[in-house]
Amino acid sequence: MRKRLRKKRSNKWEWFSVKVLYECKISGNPSPKKIDEDYGSDGQKTFEESILLIKAPSEEEAYLIGEKEALKNEVEYLNQYDQTVEWKFIRVIDCFNLFDKKLQTGTELYSRFIRVPDDLPTEKLSSINDRDFIE
């Protein structure tokens, strides 16, 4: 009799925060009667970073579960100008192991290191946007 070999999975499930990226796509012509002073494009695309709380047996599994959950969160609807708005999942950006067994007030959900030039004064750090780190 042959035994089936299975890849051993951890019985210990841990909490992870999985950062995902969505892109907003707007298509179609606006209804002329609905155009107001707020309508218009500033020539920029809109993206959303979202952090999902995921329980998984490993970091690799957390990435996969995060991806599946992010795909479920894709949405399509009509805006106030009768244009189609689509929020599309782009990719998983990062995965952070929470290490804490118990989630409570003050639990760190996400952390990252930011590298800046040595001569940048600390007080200027708050004015830096994420776009300054996009490669």
Q: Is residue 9 part of a domain?
A: no
Computed over its alpha carbons, how large is the radius of gyration of the chain?
Answer: 21
Q: Is residue 121 part of a domain?
A: yes
| d(C-alpha 18, C-alpha 52), whole Å | 5
| d(C-alpha 29, C-alpha 22), whole Å | 23
Supply the range of the domain harboring residue 71.
Answer: 14-34+43-133
46-91 per-position pLDDT tens digit? 999 999 999 999 999 999 999 999 999 999 999 999 999 999 999 9
The band of 120, judged by pLDDT with boundaries at 50, 70 and 90, is confident
Q: Is residue 7 part of a domain?
A: no
6-36 per-position pLDDT tens digit? 455 557 899 999 999 999 999 999 999 999 9
Q: Is residue 6 part of a domain?
A: no
Q: Is residue 126 part of a domain?
A: yes
Q: Is residue 3 part of a domain?
A: no
Q: Tokens at residue 32, please?
A: 């002329």
Q: Is residue 48 part of a domain?
A: yes
pTM of the model: 0.75
Structural domain total, the chain: 1
Q: Is residue 8 part of a domain?
A: no
